[in-house]
Chain A
Amino acid sequence: MKRSRVGEGKITNYFYLVVVLFLSVFVGTSCSNQKNSIVIYTSMEEDRNQALKEEIRKKFPDLNIKIQYMSTGNSAAKIKSEGKRIEADIIVDLENAHMESLKENFADLSAFDTSQFLEDVIVSNTYYPWTTYALSLFIDKKYFDAKGWDIPKTYEDLLDEKYKNQIAMPDPKTSGTGYAFFLNAVNCMGEDGAVAYFKKLKENLREFTASGSGPTNLLKQGEISMALGMISQGVSAINEGYDFEIISLETGVPYNGTSIGIISGKETKEHVKEVFTWLLNDFNKFDKENYLPSPLFKEQTNKVKNYPSNLKYADMTGIEDSKTKDRFMKIWSEING
C-alpha cells in the first residue's frame, strides 16, 4: 500500500516538474531572445525587403536582426494594441497618418543626424521620412491592343462599361495607397461626388485588395488589365518584361508618404541606434535610388530605369492628417465597408 502511494506521488511530482520546465522553456526562450536580437517591422514590398535583408546582413554580420514583413494596417494594429511592449524595435515604411496617430509610442529622434535630407522633408521628431510614393494607373498594353481599346485618361473614363471586372485598386481601409487614391478623388470631386463615383466604379472593380501591391500583382498575373498602384511597382514590372504602360491621369499623380521610427524605450537598447542610423541614412538612400525614387536626400541619383520624370502631383491636402483619415474612412464605409 505504502509503496503504491509513494510510486504515485513520484509520478505526480514528475508531472509537476514537466509542467514547470515546459512553462519556463516558453517564457525563457522569448525573454532571452528579446535581449539579443533587434526586431524590425517593415511594410515594404518583397523585393525591397529582400534588398534590406541582404544589405543588413552585409553591414551587421554579427548582429541577430529579425526583419518581419507586416502590412501597414497589421503593423499599426499591433502598435495600437501592444504599445511600447511590442516586440519590434524599429518600424519601417509605416504610413504617415498612422505614425501621427500613434506617435506617443515612438521615441524622440532629434539626436540623430539628418543633415543628408532635403530641407522641408522632416516634419516631426518622432518619425523621419522613408518614402513619398507616387501612384498611377497601369494598363496591360497587350490586352488593350488585342481588344482595340482606347487608353483612359481620367477617373471618369474608368467607369466605362467595357472595363467590367478589369480594374483593381487597393482598399483604403487597409492600404495607404488605396487611401491616397480616395483622398485625391474627394479633393477633386468633393465628398458626395467621390462617394457617387466610387459606388459606380465598384461595378468595374474586380476587388479592393488588402495590400497596396495587390492590384499590380493581379495585373502581373493576368487576372486584370488595369491596376491602380505605386508607380515604382509598375516600373519594376515593365523592367522585368511585362508589357505594361503607365498612364498619367489628367488630375495629376496622387501620392502618400511613409516614415521610419523607433519604439519608445528601445532607443537605449544595444545596437539599436547603430542600426537605425544606418537605416535612416544609408539604406534609405539605397532604397530611394534603386527602388522607389522619391526626393528625400540632397545627393540622390535615380538608378531606376524607365521611371517617369517630371511628374505632375495631384491635390493631396490632408494626406498626413489622422483626423481627416478617420473622417474619410467613415465616408468610405458607405461605399464598401
Chain B
Amino acid sequence: MIKKRTLVRFFLFLFLFCTIFYPLLVMVCKIKWSDFSILISSASFRQALGNSFLVTLLATFFSISIAYLLAYTIHHTNRKHKEILKILITLPMLIPSISHGLGLLTFMGSNGLFSKYFGFNIVGFWGIVIGSVLYTFPVAFLILSDGFGYIDSTMYEVCKILGFTKWQTFRKVTFCSLKKALLSAIFAVFTLIFTDYGVPLAVGGKFITLPVYLYKEVMGLLHFSSGTIISLFLLIPAFFSFLFDIFCKDYTTTSEKSYSPSKNKWRDRILAIFTYGILLFTFLILGSFIYYAFIDNIILHPTLSFDHFSYVLDNNLISYLCNSLWISFLVAIFGTILSYLIAYFTARDKKHKSMHILAISSLAIPGMVLGLSYTISFNHTIFYHTFLILVLVNIVHFMASPYLMAYNALKKLDPNYETVGKVCNIRTFYILKDVIIPNTKGTIREMFAYFFVNSMITISAVAFLYNTRTMPLSLLIPTYEGNLMLAEAAVVSFVILLVNLLIKGSISILNRKERRIKYEK
C-alpha cells in the first residue's frame, strides 16, 4: 500500500508539472529576447500597461468596497431572505465576462437603452471599470462572506463588555479577523481584472489594456514571441497574489456560536437600499442584454422575435452546446477527482508542500497565457486537435479554488481517521471511500459545480486551442461580438446562463437538503 501511495503521489505530481510548468517553460524558451526591447520601447505597449494598472486599481477598489458592504449586510444586519440575496449576488458568475461588457454596451453605450435618453456613452475607461466591477464583485463577495463566517462572535461580546466604541470594535475584531480574506479578495479581483480581455474587447473602445494588446499581437500580427513576453507581464500580479497565499498566516479561529447582529433600523435600511440598488443595476445590465435576444432589430423594427434564436440554432447551436456540455462534464468529473486526491495528500499528510504549491500555482496563470503556452508547447502532439487538450487546459486553469475547497474541508475532518484505519488494519483506500469522501460530499459537489460552471463560461484559455470539431459554445460569443451581432451573442449567453443555473441550482438544492436532513436528525 505504501508503494501504491507513492506511485499515486508521483503520478499526481508529474501531472501537475507537465500541465503547468512544462508548457510555460517551453513558451519562455521560445522567446526572441530582441522582441523584448522592441516591445518595451513601444509607446503603445507602455500605454497599454499603464492603462491596465489604472483601470484595475480603480475597479478593484470599487469591487472590494461593494463586496464588503454586501457581505456585511448578509452577516451583520437583520435582513430577511439572506439565502436568496446570497444566490442573487452570485448569479453574475454564471456568464462570461464578455457578456457583462456587451450588456453594458446595450444598456449604456451610445445607443444604449438607458444612455440614449441622457446622451452619454460608457464606452472606454469607465465602461471597462464598471464592466470589471460587475463580474468580479460576486467573487470578492464569496471570499469576504466566507471570512465573515470565521470571525469569533464571542469577541464582539468581549468588546461590548470592555466598553469599546463601534470603530474600535471594527478595527480590533472585524478588520483584524478579515485581514486574510480581504487581502485574498483584493489579489483575486486584481488578477481577474488585470488579465481579462472580455470586458475591454466589448466595451473598451480605444482604451487599450494589456490582454487586448496581447490578443491583437497574436491574433492579428502572429507575433507569438511578443505575445509570450506580454504574458510574462500578465503574470506579475497573479504571482504576487499566489506568493501571498502561501506565506500569509491565518489568525482566525472557528467559533461554534453564530453571530446575532445588533438591532439598528437605520443601518439595516441604508444597507438594504444599497444591496437592492446593486442587484437592480446588475440585473438591468443583464436584462437589457438578454432583451436583445428577443428583439428583431433594435433600430429598424424593435418587435418581439425569435429569429435570432432560430438563426443560432440553424448555425449549430446544439452541436456547440453538446461540445460545451461534454467538455464541462469531463472537466468537472476529472477535475474534481484530481484536485480532491491532491488535497487529500497535502491536507492529511504533512510532507507535500511542493504539491500544494503546484496545485495552487494555477491561480497565478491567466487563462490566456495558459492557452497560449499550450498552443506553443503541444501543437505537434496527437491530442492537440482533440477534446482532451480543452479538458486539460480547463482543469488546470480552474484547479486552484476547488483544490483549496477540498483542502480546507479535509483539514477540518478529525485527523485521527487514518490512525484508526491503521490500528484497525483498514486500508487507507477504504477509509477514503467509506469515511472521508462521505463526510465531504457537500464540498465535492461544490467543486463539481465550480469546474462545470467555469468551463461553460471560459473563453480566454480555449480561444487558441479549439478547432471546428471541439469548439465550445462560449467561443461563439466573441465571434458574434466581432461581427457586432449582439442579439446572437445574447442568445448564446442566455443559453449558457440557463445551463449553469440548472447545474448550480441543483447542486445548491441538494446540499441544502442534506444540511436540513442532518439538522432534523
| A–B: direct contact at CB < 8 Å | yes
Which residues does A use to contact B, with CB under 8 Å?
4, 8, 23, 26-27, 29-30, 33-34, 39, 45-46, 53, 66, 68-69, 71, 73-74, 76-77, 80-82, 85, 87-88, 165, 171, 173-175, 202, 205-211, 213-214, 217-218, 220-224, 240-242, 329, 333-337
User: Is B44's CB under 8 angstroms from A337's CB?
Assistant: yes
B205 in the interface, Cβ–Cβ < 8 Å? yes
User: Is A337's CB under 8 angstroms from B220's CB?
Assistant: no
Contacts A73-B219, A223-B123 known; list 18 others, CB within 8 Å: A4-B427, A8-B427, A8-B429, A30-B386, A30-B470, A68-B467, A71-B219, A81-B376, A85-B380, A173-B221, A206-B205, A208-B206, A210-B201, A214-B483, A218-B484, A336-B44, A336-B208, A337-B208
The residue on A at minimum CB distance from B316 is A66
Chosen A-B contacts, 17 in total, with CB atoms closer than 8 Å, are A8-B429, A27-B382, A30-B470, A39-B468, A73-B221, A76-B222, A87-B467, A87-B468, A173-B220, A206-B206, A207-B205, A210-B482, A220-B299, A220-B484, A242-B299, A336-B208, A337-B208
Q: Most chain-B CB neighbours within 10 Å: which of A165, A210, A222, A334?
A: A210
Residue of B43, B300, B427, B485 touching A242 (CB-CB under 8 A): B300
Given A213-B483, A218-B484: A27 touches B44 (CB 8 Å cut-off): no
The residue on B at minimum CB distance from A8 is B429
The residue on A at minimum CB distance from B116 is A222
Chain A nearest CB from B123 CB (Å) reads 6
Q: Which residues of A contact B486 (CB under 8 A)?
A: 221
B188-222 interface code vs A (CB 8 A; 1 in, 0 out): 00000000000001001110100001001111111
Q: Which residues of A contact B42 (CB under 8 A)?
A: 333-334, 337
Which residues does B use to contact A, with CB under 8 Å?
42-45, 47-48, 105, 109-111, 116, 121, 123, 201, 204-206, 208, 213, 216-222, 224, 298-300, 315, 375-376, 379-380, 382-383, 385-388, 427, 429-430, 467-471, 479, 482-486
Chain B nearest CB from A222 CB (Å) reads 3
The residue on B at minimum CB distance from A241 is B300
User: Is A81's CB under 8 angstroms from B379's CB?
Assistant: yes
Q: Which residues of B contact A82 (CB under 8 A)?
A: 379
Residue of B123, B376, B387 touching A26 (CB-CB under 8 A): B387
The residue on B at minimum CB distance from A72 is B220
User: Is A223's CB under 8 angstroms from B485's CB?
Assistant: no
User: Is B44's CB under 8 angstroms from A335's CB?
Assistant: yes
User: Is B485's CB under 8 angstroms from A23's CB?
Assistant: no
Chain B nearest CB from A287 CB (Å) reads 17
Give Cα A224 to B224, complex, Å. 33
Residue of B201, B222, B386 touching A29 (CB-CB under 8 A): B386
Given A81-B376, A207-B205: A23 touches B300 (CB 8 Å cut-off): no
Chain A nearest CB from B204 CB (Å) reads 7
Q: Most chain-A CB neighbours within 10 Å: which of B43, B201, B471, B484?
A: B484
Given A85-B380, A87-B467: A73 touches B375 (CB 8 Å cut-off): no
Q: Most chain-B CB neighbours within 10 Å: which of A66, A88, A207?
A: A207
User: Is B300's CB under 8 angstroms from A222's CB?
Assistant: no
Q: Most chain-A CB neighbours within 10 Å: which of B299, B427, B430, B483?
A: B483
Chain A nearest CB from B313 CB (Å) reads 13
Chain A nearest CB from B372 CB (Å) reads 10
Chain A nearest CB from B496 CB (Å) reads 19
User: Is B483's CB under 8 angstroms from A74's CB?
Assistant: no
User: Is A329's CB under 8 angstroms from B110's CB?
Assistant: no
Given A8-B427, A220-B484, A334-B42: A87 touches B385 (CB 8 Å cut-off): yes
Q: Which residues of B contact A69 (CB under 8 A)?
A: 479
The residue on A at minimum CB distance from B375 is A81
Q: Which residues of B contact A213 (CB under 8 A)?
A: 482-484
User: Is B206's CB under 8 angstroms from A26's CB?
Assistant: no
Give Cα A39 to B111, complex, Å. 38
User: Is A46's CB under 8 angstroms from B376's CB?
Assistant: no
Residue of B116, B218, B299, B430 touching A77 (CB-CB under 8 A): B218
Q: Which residues of B contact A80 (CB under 8 A)?
A: 222
Given A173-B216, A173-B220, A337-B213: A207 touches B299 (CB 8 Å cut-off): no
User: Is B224's CB under 8 angstroms from A81's CB?
Assistant: yes
Q: Which residues of B contact A209 (CB under 8 A)?
A: 482
Give Cα A240 to B284, complex, Å. 30
The residue on B at minimum CB distance from A165 is B121
Give Cα A175 to B483, complex, Å. 12
Given A80-B222, A221-B298: A334 touches B469 (CB 8 Å cut-off): no
User: Is B468's CB under 8 angstroms from A329's CB?
Assistant: no
The residue on B at minimum CB distance from A326 is B221
Q: Which residues of A contact B376 (CB under 8 A)?
A: 81
User: Is A174's CB under 8 angstroms from B216's CB?
Assistant: yes
Which 6 A-B pairs have CB atoms at the shortest separation, nearest pair first? A337-B44, A217-B484, A222-B111, A174-B220, A173-B220, A207-B205
